[in-house]
Amino acid sequence: MSNCETCVYWRKPTQGETWGKYGLGQCSAVPLLYAATDWTDDSIGRVILDDYKNTKAFVQDGENYCGFFLTRPDFGCVDYTLDT
């Protein structure tokens, strides 16, 4: 399995992102669940939007404000896409 370090979805932290001191990067293939859903017109509640119907993983925080999937460079994933 290929690793995050060479994946198109993985980015190294900017200077202001404190999680960078742990050697972590952020995966953009794993979206915030709240941003990937919307309310329906009926009593179902929220549903996953069509743009995210094939997404395999989501992040969730307690307030639906923001969430990041952070990994080490050597983490592997089935959504790996080579950064060319």
Note the pTM of the prediction, 2 decimals. 0.79
Q: Do 39 and 54 meet the contact criterion of CB atoms below 8 Å apart?
A: no
Sheet containing 25-27, strands listed edge to edge, beginning at the edge strand earlier in sequence: 10-11, 25-27, 69-71
Residue with the two structure tokens 């050697």: 23
- Dist. CA 69–CA 13, nearest whole Å: 12
Contacts of 54 (CB under 8 A, 6+ apart): none
What is the chain's pLDDT, residue by residue, as a tens digit (84 residues)?
Answer: 689 999 999 999 998 999 999 999 999 999 999 999 999 887 778 899 999 999 999 999 887 778 889 999 999 988 898 877
Would you list the domain boundaries of the chain?
4-71
